[in-house]
Amino acid sequence: MARTLGLFFATALAELTGCYLPLLWLSGKGAAWLLIPAALSLMVFVWLLTLHPGASGRIYATYGAVYISTAVLWLHLVDGVAPSYSDYVGVGLALLGAAVIALGNRAA
């Protein structure tokens, strides 16, 4: 379980980085060369997706909740915006929903 959550977290970081760097360039806050590490990050993201335990909707639903959590952490650490109460509630609901999906469908 810890390995899978770590993989989800690494995948989310690669996805966020691959999308954030072009945003810096497009908004004039970064140089065009940032597109190179952005492309590499997105390639890592796609590769990491192949390492997930299965390519099913349940796996990706669970990854989505980890992505939401990581994005709120990114908001705080990278963008310097303190998460609001509703951000924390939303993360909690996403993680709870993912737990219901992931744990509720285990083979008996």
The answer to whether the beta carbons of residues 91 and 69 sit under 8 Å apart is yes
According to the model, what pLDDT value does residue 76 have?
95
Burial per residue of 31-59, b for 16 or more beta-carbon CB atoms within 10 angstroms, e otherwise: eeebeeebeebbebbeebbeebeeeeeeb
Counted domains in the chain: 1
Range of the domain at 95: 2-104
Q: What's the whole-model pTM score?
A: 0.80
Q: Which two tokens stand for residue 40?
A: 């590499």
Residue 101's region, left for phi above 0, alpha for psi from -120 to 50, else beta, is alpha
Report pLDDT digits (tens) over 12-26: 999 999 999 999 999
Report pLDDT digits (tens) over 76-96: 999 999 999 999 999 999 999
Report pLDDT digits (tens) over 27-45: 999 999 999 999 999 999 9
Asked if residue 107 has pLDDT above 70, the reply is no
According to the model, what pLDDT value does residue 39 have?
97
